[in-house]
A = this chain, B = another copy of it.
């Protein structure tokens, strides 16, 4: 063991606007042996989603950004390779916020909590990093608890081919909603039409979103599930129906360029349309996770719910993976397979 080096990505500088590979430095360090109470984990996959950008920006919800010279933040799953903690044994499949590195050590709580997970039949080992994890729970809570869809509601979903968006689209369709998806390239738009069966799909990079929305929902938008913020949020707010619910889930368009978030000038339509704009934090809904995973698991088993994994291989790919999700080049949940 002691001859193996741990590849770790440190934050070497903060991006001014767009993240570049220069913001990170790859270092190799000797792996320590776990001390009493600790476990050593070999990371197998990390998941990369746009809000991770805030780890080297505003700091996100906590306001704590990664210090220069510290390990880049990130979550993943791995296998316990050496345990001196009675709750874990070698071979356990575990998940946690390991950071961008191949090996991690924890006592189960510090420096990060560790959770034991089990693979589910019919699903990839990595499912807990998306559909049976944070993305799945977010889609479930955001749709059912916040948006509260009714049969016949017109719902618009931005980043509709994304990790959360694609689940929202499919669940909303099952709830009897008319679903309009917005995405940023033709491959995604095709997939939303053909594989997810959405009747209306808008490519925001080549089409006029406002015009397309006016044509697709002449009576207005009942639910707007926002994953991107910026101009699309503003446009959607300009076309809401009476009593609309705007679910604030993400703001991918805003994570780069931390200083100047783009406020939606059409916010006052919330008054004219007696509408509600609500944000939520998925970890406050832990009591709903069991229901969410049961429902999502059933839908997957029945073939009623599909998802995409976009997998890069090798620890070297981590900065690229982040750049991919921020530019929208990824197709589905962005994973980086490490071992």
Contacts and interface: CB of A to CB of B under 8 A. Distances in A.
Interface stretch (A42-50, A112-120, A279-287, A294-302): A279-287
Contacts of A266: 261, 263
Task: Report whether over half of chain A's contact residues are helix, strand or loop; otherwise say mixed.
Answer: mixed
A267 interface: yes
B277 A281 contact: no
Contact of A268 (B248, B270, B274): B248
Contact of A277 (B234, B261, B276): B276
Contact of A265 (B260, B275, B278): B260
A4 interface: no
A191 interface: no
A96 interface: no
A249 B272 CA distance: 10
Contacts of A248: 267-268, 270-271
Contacts of A284: 274
Interface string A238-250: 0000000000110
Given A275-B279, A277-B276, A279-B272, A264 B267 contact: yes
Contacts of A262: 263, 265
A319 interface: no
A276 B274 contact: no
A254 interface: yes
B272 A61 contact: yes
Nearest to A243: B284
A234 to B, nearest CB: 7
A166 interface: no
Nearest to A51: B271
Contacts of A272: 60-61, 279, 281
Interface of A: 60-61, 229, 234, 248-249, 251, 254, 260-281, 284
27 contacts: A61-B271, A61-B272, A229-B268, A234-B263, A248-B268, A248-B270, A248-B271, A249-B271, A251-B271, A261-B267, A261-B268, A262-B263, A263-B264, A263-B265, A263-B266, A267-B277, A269-B279, A270-B279, A271-B280, A272-B279, A274-B279, A274-B284, A275-B279, A276-B276, A276-B277, A276-B279, A277-B278
Name the 5 nearest CB pairs between A and B, nearest first: A263-B263, A271-B279, A270-B279, A263-B265, A261-B265
